[in-house]
Chain A
Amino acid sequence: MRRGIAATAVVAALTMTAAACGGDDGDSGKKSGGKLSGTVTFWDTSNDAEKATYEKLAKGFEDLHPGVEVKYVNVPFGEANAKFKNAAGGNSGAPDVMRTEVAWVADFANLGYLAPLEGTAALDKPEDFLPQAAASTKFKGKTYAAPQTIDTLALFYNKKMLKAAGVEVPKTFDDVKSVAKKIKSKSGKTGLYLRGDDPYFYLPYLYGAGGDLLDTKKKEVTVDDAEGAEAFEVMKDLVDSKAAVTDASDGYNNQLNAFKDGDVAMALDGPWSIEGALQGKQFKGSAGAANLGVAPVPGGSARQASPQGGWNLAAYAGSKNLDASYEFIKYMSSAKVQQQTTEKLSLLPTRTSVYDVKSVKDNQMVQFFKPAVDKSVQRPWIPEANSLFEPIRLQMQKVLSGKTSPEDGAKGIGDAYRKLLKDYK
């Protein structure tokens, strides 16, 4: 039976490649006889709840191109950046295709690790990509990656718990505080889980206060303006007033566990956690899934805003099999694969055309997250973008543990940025 499927797939794939070759005769010279062969090593960074789906999708490439073997490797998000840099810089063991966080592309491209994708098979219908997703793939006028998925943060909440406490979904962090008080008096549970270990979660507070990390146009560090300190103050106040719990280690798992077990009523999280949350006892099954509420991140004194994130696919410049790598990127960023990731994992597509597909249009998480993504704040797409996080992490933990005042915390980040970005004021 299995063999039957495989044989059909092979035939189908062969006809498809033949058809594809008939269509473009521009670059078929590189491939012998229009067929791709060899292996493509793919480093995926998806989390435990997502990785099985991604592996299956990646392996699906083999059906399209029977000559190519896809080597799927799951690299934990936290290690992926350093691991890729070690391998790419040392020119040994780097993958052919890498799933890179949006902030890594400019960094890797700046160091010469990525192959430019213009004019290759990798960029298929680039005009179909959401402009803000495509923005993160460009460096110095060239495109180095294809957007795979886009995301942002939102407020995940437990509908039952909020209802039991008789409260509305909070719109601002002030609301969070009062809502949390009611939840605590009703059920004894904590309102919000505040990630104290991950700098990414500082951004909604910073943007909410009306601030930003940098002004890349004026080349100015803006994080240590009053807004940066205000963001810390809001966070610290949530923790000190017991409206939120926090910690400095293992935040991702602690938050997800606390939320899905019903120990906290709310948490800031992204679409990548939907699949994991739905496996918890509060949200299991179709009845449970209805209990999972998602709302825009609460606002600060100025606005409601969260950072734009997501993942891109990039080809390693030293790949021995660039042709197959480009095809693989094209496949993984194709409308069809994006549609499947949405159906299986509720991740957001980066292609506008996919949003017209019914199953995507009807997906509740997409319905919620798409408008949120449209309004999300783009981060500075500079080579140092990823390094901007470490100083925040350092100061965030100092502020939350009470070792440093919010003002000094913000100032500490600003000082670190000026050291890192030599030409910034």
Chain B
Amino acid sequence: MAVESGPRAVPAADARSVRGRGPRAGKKPGRLRRALSTYWYAWAMVAPVVAVIGVIVGYPLVRGVYLSTTDANEANVERTIGVNHIPATYESVGLDNYKAILDDAVFWDRLTWTVVWTVSCVALSFALGLVLAIMLNRKLKGRSFYRMALILPWAVPAFVSVFTWRLLFNEKKGLLNAILEGGGLDAIPWLNDPTWAKLSVIAVNVWLGVPFMLVAMLGGLQSIPGELYEAAEMDGASAWQRFRHVTLPGIRPVATTVVLISAIWTFNMFPVIFLLTRGGPGDATEILVTYAYRLSFVVSPRDFAGSAAWGVLILLLLSLFAVVYRRALRKQGEVW
């Protein structure tokens, strides 16, 4: 949720004057001091966090944005190798990198697929997670066992799951094709045909994403007071009506947050794509982040500037999405 940092509906005027340095310029001289003396304790408490975030998020971010306006690559950046020190010799090129990317069909191709990938993954895992959560939210025998079993994909490290899936998908020796062939069907080129590869990566990501949705939804469902259902029943509401008018509004705060987070994660879901298909066959399953990776780690000399520009564009897209999404929610009366 670190992405959330937009205007926070004016919490305290004092706090603002400290953050934005503008109003300090002469107008009300006593303000900063007053704020400091009143809240010095709070400032002292957040200072370490601010410092750490500044170092591990702020600096790389600013540097990345700066690099994206240069022609920096592996051969011209500053580096120290043993006793040799090689100075930086890259130059500023303005917005050329961005122009080149936006002019290139590769970017738009990858963006289209990334959007398709994100939407289908989030929609499928949300739907599945919700259904499973509703099923588990009632009293049934062995409920804790089911819950454990369904959480399992989440407990296994992603790369382990992905490698396991890769073995299952293996066209020649994989279990999936062995089952198909045992049933008298043709083997499917899971990861070797562009369309099948796309379906495969989505399937794996949904499999990985469902437990998260399930847990979050279950929490949401359990926070809905039982009285609401009782009251609805008293009023003669059908099961569907109860779901539509009690359950859905009840889990909405959780659902919206979860969808936003999941969309951002999926958009940047590097390991699934990279470990499962390396973006292949061809570039059929390559999403924006795996392409940026390719620029900065596969070609030689590594194109740091181009990769940074891709990164900035990805960040902009996601920020834009978050803002639009929040605004749409606020219009519907959701506040968070």
Contacts and interface: CB of A to CB of B under 8 A. Distances in A.
B300 A386 contact: yes
Interface string B272-302: 0000011011111000000000100111111
23 contacts: A89-B74, A91-B79, A107-B300, A111-B74, A196-B281, A247-B171, A248-B191, A249-B170, A249-B191, A249-B192, A249-B280, A249-B281, A254-B170, A254-B173, A263-B172, A316-B81, A317-B81, A317-B82, A318-B80, A386-B300, A398-B282, A398-B283, A401-B282
Nearest to B74: A111
B166 interface: yes
Given A248-B191, A249-B191, A254-B170, A319 B299 contact: no
A89 B300 contact: no
Interface string A377-403: 000000110110010011101101101
- Residue picked from B84, B173, B282, most chain A C-beta under 10 Å: B282
Contacts, number: 105
B72 to A, nearest CB: 12
A164 B144 CA distance: 59
Given A85-B74, A112-B81, A401-B194, A249 B299 contact: no
Query: 7 closest pairs, A vs B, by CB?
Result: A318-B82, A398-B282, A397-B281, A248-B281, A397-B282, A387-B300, A248-B192
Contact of B298 (A88, A390, A401): A390
State which size class the interface on A falls in: 35 or more
A257 interface: yes
A196 B74 contact: no
A403 B282 contact: yes
State the main secondary structure of chain B at its contact with A: loop
Given A82-B297, A111-B75, A383-B301, A401 B172 contact: no
Contact of A395 (B83, B171, B191, B282): B282
A403 B198 CA distance: 14
Nearest to A78: B278
Contacts of B189: 247
A107 B73 CA distance: 13
A352 interface: no
Contacts of B74: 85, 89, 111
B173 to A, nearest CB: 7
Interface of B: 74-75, 79-84, 86, 166, 170-173, 189, 191-194, 197, 277-278, 280-284, 294, 297-302
Contacts of B166: 249-250
Interface string A97-125: 00000000001001111010000000000
B282 A319 contact: no
A420 B306 CA distance: 13
B84 A112 contact: yes
A387 B282 contact: no
B300 A401 contact: no
A110 B75 CA distance: 8
A319 B81 CA distance: 9
A258 interface: yes
Contacts of A245: 172
- Residue picked from B84, B172, B297, B300, most chain A C-beta under 10 Å: B300
B26 to A, nearest CB: 47
B302 A85 contact: yes
Given A85-B302, A197-B280, 16 more contacts: A91-B79, A110-B75, A115-B82, A257-B173, A316-B82, A317-B82, A318-B82, A383-B300, A387-B299, A390-B294, A390-B299, A397-B280, A397-B282, A397-B284, A401-B282, A403-B282
